[in-house]
């Protein structure tokens, strides 16, 4: 490949203010910090966005450096298949993987799902997140969102039974899912699960810390439990079969759409239900994840709804319905 025909890579950190704040058991934030990779060739540019996650030791600066370190490989024609072994799973690989697929789609004048041999996504219902706060504050936030069919409720430890009861009272007709973000303990697990069951919760995400979730295999689970921090890629699945009923697939964990698609297929083959999740980010992060929605029982792609502003050509939301991306955004 001559220099005139060589792909070029640029990357940058971008910041988008959150509307208000976003609070989970690990803390609050007021902006979404993303890293964007752009790969250009022949007048076309493919883009991918990722969200470095401190839970996994990632920072924006280190993620940017990891992406930029692949410039030479990209210039020499790095493919998505080669990328899977060239970088570990994580945010940096996600941005590059999605950028490469976006570029392939543009250069072939085809949609990304067609290139991957997947079903075309259609409009689907996304969860809308209720941030962690006091029971009264969560009830007030829930009342404003009670017109939405699916709410995702962030819980965080002591007082969670009161929180979920307050949310249910404020939204008697919504389907509720709960995300504890690893904040429960062996002593609170069963009482909290019972409180969620009493409130008619459909699913609880990651109640116990990853690497300390063995108890889930030893109790009777009154409602379905979903792995989030405990599942990253296909190598994670086998150990989870006795502990979880569902898995939350996020592209920043899998390291891109390539592994995410393979993970979804493998998880379904093992009997797991699929949840498609996201970090708080723009529509450029959500767009590739839309390819997984035809397989998903739960879709949680509300990141742009939590921002004060989205990027141009963002996903179209009609209430809680989210529509597939236009080619002008991605894929």
Q: Residues with catalytic annotation?
A: 154, 250
Q: Determine how many CB atoms are found less than 10 A away from the CB of residue 61.
A: 11
- Locate all alpha helices (DSSP H) within the chain, ordered by sequence: 60-68, 71-75, 80-86, 91-108, 112-116, 135-145, 160-170, 186-198, 251-254, 257-269, 283-289
Cα–Cα–Cα angle for 221, 266, 316, rounded to 5 degrees: 85
**Are 275 and 300 a contacting pair, CB within 8 Å?**
yes
Cβ-count burial 77-103 (b if 16+ within 10 Å, e if not): ebebeebbeebebbbbbbbbbbbbbbb
Q: Which residues contact 20 (CB under 8 A, 6 or more apart)?
A: 30
Instruction: Classify residue 329 by its DSSP letter.
Output: T
Task: Give dist(CA 217, CA 172) in Å, integer.
Answer: 31
Helix (H) or strand (E) holding 111: none
Gap between the Cα atoms of 250 and 252, Å rounded: 5
d(CA 216, CA 262): 25
Pair 34, 92: CB distance under 8 Å: no
């Amino acid at each position: 490949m001559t220099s005139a025909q060589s792909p070029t890579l640029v990357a940058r950190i971008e910041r988008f203010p959150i509307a208000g704040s976003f609070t989970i058991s690990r803390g609050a934030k007021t902006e979404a910090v993303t890293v964007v990779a752009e790969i250009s060739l022949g007048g076309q540019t493919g883009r991918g966005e990722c969200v470095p996650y401190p839970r996994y030791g990632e920072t924006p600066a280190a993620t940017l450096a990891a992406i930029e370190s692949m410039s030479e490989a990209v210039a020499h024609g790095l493919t998505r298949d080669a990328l899977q072994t060239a970088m570990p799973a994580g945010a940096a690989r996600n941005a590059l993987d999605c950028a490469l697929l976006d570029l392939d789609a543009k250069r072939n004048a085809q949609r990304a799902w067609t290139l991957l041999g997947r079903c075309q996504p259609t409009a689907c219902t996304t969860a809308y997140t209720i941030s962690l706060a006091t029971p009264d504050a969560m009830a007030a936030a829930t009342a404003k969102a009670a017109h939405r069919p699916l709410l995702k409720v962030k819980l965080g430890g002591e007082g969670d039974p009161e929180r979920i009861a307050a949310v249910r009272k404020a939204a008697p007709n919504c389907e509720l899912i709960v995300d504890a973000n690893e904040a429960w303990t062996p002593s609170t697990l069963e009482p909290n699960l019972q409180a969620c069951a009493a409130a008619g919760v459909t699913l609880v995400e990651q109640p116990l810390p990853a690497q300390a979730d063995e108890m889930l295999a030893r109790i009777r689970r009154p409602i379905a439990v979903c792995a989030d921090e405990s599942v990253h890629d296909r190598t994670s699945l086998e150990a989870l079969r006795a502990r979880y009923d569902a898995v939350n697939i996020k592209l920043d964990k899998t390291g891109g759409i390539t592994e995410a698609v393979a993970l979804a297929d493998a998880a379904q083959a093992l009997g797991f239900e699929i949840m498609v999740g996201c970090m708080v980010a723009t529509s450029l992060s959500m767009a590739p994840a839309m390819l997984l929605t035809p397989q998903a029982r739960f879709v949680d792609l509300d990141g742009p709804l939590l921002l004060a502003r989205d990027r141009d050509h963002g996903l179209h939301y009609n209430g809680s319905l989210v529509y597939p991306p236009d080619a002008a955004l991605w894929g």
